[in-house]
């Protein structure tokens, strides 16, 4: 595949943008080579600066659940832009958005809009601290909750991709208030809770982890956390930035049948516009300003472009529950196909999959946490990534990322993907 124009753009970008990109994973550092510069996308396909077409398994890291440039969303943005792109004052559309979300997801009495998943998670943590009067939080190794200071401890995803252990710029004080435990290890959590009795404000978790590849919660793990949080007066936060409106209309809470106290959203909620949100139970949300004294604000929060994009996409998802059934079937079909060619290759592998989230690890043991994800043969993934890219399949450029399916994918696209994997594996 000719990517001369991308190479040219990448060289040029590095003179004015750090590393040539505005978010690190885009730089292809772990897989090596030149990041593809994109020009446009429609449905399941991306088109790069050289005019090459790719089948997209990143989907802007999740938001494009119905494919790119989904017409109702594009139209709605165009129409509303005429009436101003931001007011910094309340609008009826924000109420409609909040009401819509409340009608779709469990356990959200009040919801506040922000502009990114990072902001949503950092605000939820502040709220949990303000509400409980405690300082510490507990997160899981390999879970990513955005780039706020508190979360950059064993943070998975980009941080793992770049093999950064402790992040310069995060003070020891902040790092000390962040406790960690291995994903799926309820005993380790109990130990931390015992050791820091009455000090932990919140446990935050990706209910299905997507930032160390896709990793499923083992039976009893989330239930155990829920019970422990209730017992110890700890705020239980589901980071549904990835899973929200993706695993089900009501996200992981609905899909897995677990109640959270606070929930954070991003990605799908904005249909590709910068949107995040945090919400939850009234008793806790009551403490956020201006209702309470936990401060949180945003000049562009709830701006009309962001709101109409999210509102239009979520409305479509709410009114067309078949989308989730179709995504489920496509995910299962893809998994089966991947299994077939991987088995034939003789290379030890693990596929983790739930709904429209899926990933491959080259490992001969189950991948259930960050340690098992890290000890997989990720170099093999990196080689495979380029072979797939050459065949027009755009996978996330790191073994530490989940693939995201969009419902714009056809079975023909899935077959092509499986075939490309078969060919790629034969070249390894």
List residues near ligand PLP by CB under 6 A. Answer: 116-118, 121, 144-146, 206, 210-211, 239, 241-242, 266, 276
Residue 17 DSSP one-character state: S
Which residue's C-beta sits nearest to ligand PLP?
117
Crossing angle of helices 411-427 and 378-390, in 10° steps, is: 120
Question: Which is nearer to ligand PLP, 144 or 381 (by Cβ)?
Answer: 144
Report strand pairing: 200-205 vs 136-140.
parallel
Region at 153 (left for phi over 0; alpha for psi -120 to 50; beta for the rest): beta
Question: Which is nearer to ligand PLP, 146 or 302 (by Cβ)?
Answer: 146
Catalytic residue IDs: 144, 239, 267
If one counts every other C-beta atom within 10 angstroms of the C-beta of residue 297, the result is: 10
207 phi/psi in degrees, rounded to 5: -60, -35
Nearest 10 degrees: Cα torsion 242, 244, 246, 249:
180
* Least gap, CB of 49 to ligand PLP (angstroms): 24
Question: Which is nearer to ligand PLP, 43 or 146 (by Cβ)?
Answer: 146
Residue 209 DSSP one-character state: B
* Least gap, CB of 353 to ligand PLP (angstroms): 17
Question: Which is nearer to ligand PLP, 116 or 132 (by Cβ)?
Answer: 116
- H/E stretch holding 97: helix 92-104
* Least gap, CB of 293 to ligand PLP (angstroms): 25
Helices then strands, each counted (H, E), the chain:
15, 14
Question: Which is nearer to ligand PLP, 6 or 154 (by Cβ)?
Answer: 154
Distances in Å between the alpha carbon of 134 and those of 124, 193, 301, 320?
14, 13, 27, 42
In three-state secondary structure terms, 381 is: helix
If one counts every other C-beta atom within 10 angstroms of the C-beta of residue 391, the result is: 17
CA 52/CA 32 separation, integer angstroms: 19
* Least gap, CB of 337 to ligand PLP (angstroms): 26
* Least gap, CB of 144 to ligand PLP (angstroms): 5
In three-state secondary structure terms, 43 is: strand
* Least gap, CB of 155 to ligand PLP (angstroms): 10
Question: Which is nearer to ligand PLP, 239 or 413 (by Cβ)?
Answer: 239
């Amino acid at each position: 595949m000719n990517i001369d124009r991308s190479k040219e753009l990448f060289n040029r970008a590095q003179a004015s943008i750090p590393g040539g990109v505005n978010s690190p994973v885009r730089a292809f550092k772990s897989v090596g080579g030149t990041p593809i510069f994109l020009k446009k996308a429609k449905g399941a396909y991306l088109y790069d600066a050289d005019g090459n077409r790719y089948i997209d398994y990143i989907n802007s890291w999740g938001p494009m659940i119905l494919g790119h440039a989904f017409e109702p969303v594009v139209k709605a943005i165009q129409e509303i832009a005429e009436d101003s792109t931001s007011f910094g004052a309340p609008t009826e559309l924000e109420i409609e958005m909040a009401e819509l979300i409340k009608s779709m997801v469990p356990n959200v009495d009040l919801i506040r809009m922000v502009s990114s998943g990072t902001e949503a998670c950092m605000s939820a943590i502040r709220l949990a601290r303000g509400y409980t009067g405690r300082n510490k939080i507990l997160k899981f190794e390999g879970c990513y909750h955005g780039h706020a200071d508190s979360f950059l401890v064993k943070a998975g995803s980009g941080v793992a991709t770049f093999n950064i252990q402790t992040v310069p710029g995060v003070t020891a004080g902040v790092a000390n208030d962040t406790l960690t435990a291995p994903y799926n290890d309820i005993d380790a959590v109990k130990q931390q809770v015992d050791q820091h009795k009455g000090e932990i404000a919140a446990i935050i978790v990706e209910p299905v982890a997507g930032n160390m590849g896709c990793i499923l919660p083992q039976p009893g793990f989330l239930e155990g956390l829920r019970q422990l949080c209730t017992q110890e007066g700890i705020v239980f936060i589901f980071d549904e930035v990835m899973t929200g409106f993706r695993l089900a209309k009501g996200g992981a809470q609905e899909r897995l049948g677990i109640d959270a106290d606070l929930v954070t959203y991003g990605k799908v909620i904005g249909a590709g516009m910068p949107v995040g949100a945090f919400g939850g139970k009234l008793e806790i949300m009551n403490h956020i300003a201006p209702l309470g004294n936990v401060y949180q604000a945003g000049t562009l929060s709830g701006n009309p472009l962001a709101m109409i994009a999210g509102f239009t996409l979520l409305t479509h998802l709410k009114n067309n529950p078949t989308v989730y059934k179709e995504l489920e079937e496509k995910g299962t079909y893809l998994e089966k196909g991947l299994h077939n060619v991987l088995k034939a290759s003789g290379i030890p592998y693990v596929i983790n999959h739930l709904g429209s989230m899926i990933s491959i690890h080259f490992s001969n043991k189950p991948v259930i946490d960050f340690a098992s994800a890290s000890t997989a043969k990720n170099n093999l993934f990196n080689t495979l990534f380029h072979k797939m890219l050459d065949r027009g399949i755009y996978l996330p450029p790191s073994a530490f990322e989940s693939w995201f399916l969009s419902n714009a994918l056809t079975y023909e696209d899935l077959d092509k993907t499986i075939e490309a994997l078969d060919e790629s594996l034969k070249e390894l």
